[in-house]
Amino acid sequence: TQAPVNVTVTGAAGQIGYALLFRIASGQLLGQDQPVRLRLLEIPQAVKAAEGTALELEDGAFPLLAGIDIVDDAKQAFDGTNVALLVGARPRTKGMERGDLLEANGGIFKPQGEAINAGAADDVKILVVGNPANTNALIAQAHAPDVPAERFTAMTRLDHNRALAQLAKKLGTPVSDIKKMTIWGNHSATQYPDIFNAEVKGGSAAEAVNDQNWLENEFIPRVAKRGAEIIEARGASSAASAANAAIDHVHDWVNGTPEGDWVSMGVPSDGSYGVPEGLISSFPVVCRGGAYEIVQGLEINDFSRSRIDASVGELTEERDAVRKLGLI
């Protein structure tokens, strides 16, 4: 059997952590022949709860689970890590301005970036889930100059999966019939789910829909505000679906995307599609051999252009704000 891969999960005692850890332990992140060693990072007050989750993981008797360490120190958490899932973040609370939120998260993602830089394995892959995910990823990346910049990614796969599901429902077809969905921009209400480049059973999804009103007034806002809809219904924010998306993101990054399809990932821009270089923005990507590439040459119509520009504009503002705060 293969040597275990070290997987670090921050915010392990939180609700996404609870849904995520069992799926990692069962082999759904890296494959059924790949043992994993879990490293759980929590704040001191939540270490005991993380230990409780670890007891339950033990009770899963997962054949692929080679060990669990629980720590409250970032340096220890990322020492030798191969896959880092940065889930723990500071949520926005009542009366909190954006600057306060960015600053509080800077206090988390700066030291975590430094710890990744100091000790992570050479092949480390990083997924930031904790919001504001794109900008938190940018902060961590800025403090890890020795790690290739493209290893820092942010999660927009939940938005991608939500868009697939909503489009499939509209067309009365299984999600498996839909390919080439794209989320552009920020993981926020400005994100742009693009069906103009999507396909249903090999044909144009936009032509199959042929309903601009639905696109603008139902589909896009529904996908972009789905998080609020879940909170309203469930009384708590998305957890299992977010964990599912994190599994999908890393699984596809490591194992590759299917031929004839792509996925959405928040990745550092290389200037493609007019997105300023260095911003961590969502793009259509294909993954091969453990690396991803931004899909090139897609047609961007005027409607898409203005939506992408608006979301990228927001990312630029967030970057400028964290720059002003000295966080990058």
> Cβ–Cβ contacts within 10 Å for residue 7, how many?
23
Beta strands in 191-244 (DSSP E): 192-194, 199-200, 203-204
Nearer to ligand NAX (CB atom), residue 199 or residue 238? 238
**C-alpha to C-alpha distance for 12 and 272, rounded to whole angstroms:** 35
Q: Could you say which of 143, 187, 249, 251 is catalytic?
A: 187
220 labelled as ligand-binding?
no
Residue 119 near residue 160 (C-beta atoms within 8 A): no
* Distance of closest approach, residue 3 Cβ to ligand NAX, in angstroms: 26
Residue 307, annotated as binding a ligand: no
Residue 96 binds to ligand NAX (criterion: CB under 6 A):
no
Candidates 151, 162, 179, 187; binder of ligand NAX (CB under 6 A) is 187
Stretch that binds ligand NAX, among 166-174, 237-245, 267-275, 299-307 (CB under 6 A): 237-245
Task: Check the annotation: does 305 bind a ligand.
Answer: no
**Does position 42 bind ligand NAX by CB under 6 A?**
yes
Output the CA torsion sign for 209, 214, 215, 221. negative
- Flag whether 108 is marked binding: no
- Nearest approach in angstroms of CB 1 to ligand NAX is 31
Whether 70 has a binding-site annotation, put simply, is: no
Sole binder of ligand NAX in the list 47, 165, 171, 239 (CB under 6 A): 239
Asked if residue 17 belongs to a known ligand binding site, the reply is yes
Q: Using alpha carbons, select from 161, 155, 303 the residue that is nearest to residue 226.
A: 161
How many angstroms from the chain centroid is the CA of residue 22? 18
Alpha carbon distance 36, 118 (integer Å): 22
Which CB atom, from 188 or from 197, has the smaller least distance to ligand NAX?
A: 188
Each residue 104-133 as x (binds ligand NAX by CB under 6 A) or -, in order, gives: ----x--------------------xxx-x
Q: How far apart are CA 154 and CA 140, in angstroms?
A: 11
Contacts of 289 (CB under 8 A, 6+ apart): 256
Q: According to the annotation, is 296 in a ligand binding site?
A: no
Of positions 14, 106, 185, 193, contacts ligand NAX by CB under 6 A: 14
Whether 90 has a binding-site annotation, put simply, is no
**Residue 318 engages ligand NAX in binding (rule: CB under 6 A):** no
Please, what is the minimum distance in Å from the beta carbon of residue 136 to ligand NAX? 8
Select from 44, 40, 46 the least CA-distant residue to 10: 40
Which CB contacts under 8 angstroms, 24+ apart, belong to 164-170? 166/219, 166/222, 166/223, 167/195, 167/198, 167/200, 167/205, 167/209, 167/219, 170/209, 170/214, 170/219
Of the candidate residues 8, 11, 141, 265, the single one contacting ligand NAX (CB under 6 A): 11
Return the DSSP state at 173.
S
Instruction: Give yes or no: 187 in active site.
Output: yes
CB-nearer residue toward ligand NAX: 48 or 169:
48
Residue for token pair 């004839």: 260
Residues 6+ apart with CB under 8 A from 16: 87, 129, 239, 242, 243, 246
* Beta bridge partners of residue 22, listed in sequence order: none
x-or-dash string of contact with ligand NAX, 240-279, rule CB under 6 A: --x-------------------------------------
Enzyme catalytic residues: 187
- Detail the residues annotated as belonging to a binding site: 11-17, 92, 98, 105, 112, 129-131, 162
Q: Which residues bind ligand NAX (CB under 6 A)?
A: 10-11, 13-17, 41-43, 46, 87-89, 91, 108, 129-131, 133, 155, 158, 187, 227, 237-239, 242
- Detail the residues annotated as belonging to a binding site for NAD(+): 11-17, 105, 112, 129-131
